[in-house]
């Protein structure tokens, strides 16, 4: 594994709270972010499979995460209603799978919002990023 990915793993081990912000891209996280998780979120670091008990051993328990997702053209509710829960992958398939308590906040549609609403969102996001869940 490359040194920068080993460094990222070490930072995840040391932190108590993680904040991840990304745009909703075709009802999922962007490919570069997914590719990053694919490269460093590995057995032995984030989790292990216990062959005897056939259970997942979660290595990152005791941590929390706030995921903030921005939606461009549709409100997060409309996206969920039409296409299903676009947060399952990051929340359940990645973070909580490794034992990280996770809360998700979604904002949108970002392309049709005025400056007053945008500033309100930024204020909310600033507070969400600073506190645990």
Low-confidence stretches of the chain (pLDDT beneath 70): 73-85, 131-133
Please give the pLDDT value at position 84: 60
Domains in the chain, please, with CATH? 17-130 (3.40.50.360)
Residue 50's alpha-carbon distances to 53, 55, 59, 61, 128, in angstroms, are 6, 5, 12, 16, 35
Token representation of residue 44: 């032995």
Please give the pLDDT value at position 132: 65
């Amino acid at each position: 594994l490359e040194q920068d990915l080993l460094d990222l793993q070490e930072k995840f081990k040391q932190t108590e709270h993680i904040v991840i912000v990304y745009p909703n891209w075709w009802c999922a996280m962007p490919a570069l972010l997914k590719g990053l998780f694919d490269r460093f979120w590995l057995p032995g670091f984030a989790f292990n499979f216990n062959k005897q008990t056939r259970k997942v051993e979660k290595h990152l328990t005791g941590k929390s995460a706030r995921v903030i997702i921005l939606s461009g053209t549709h409100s997060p509710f409309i996206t969920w209603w039409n296409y299903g829960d676009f947060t399952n992958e990051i929340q359940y398939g990645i973070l909580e799978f490794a034992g990280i308590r996770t809360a998700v906040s979604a904002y949108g549609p970002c392309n049709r919002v005025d400056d007053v609403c945008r500033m309100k969102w930024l204020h909310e996001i600033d507070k969400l990023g600073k506190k645990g869940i």
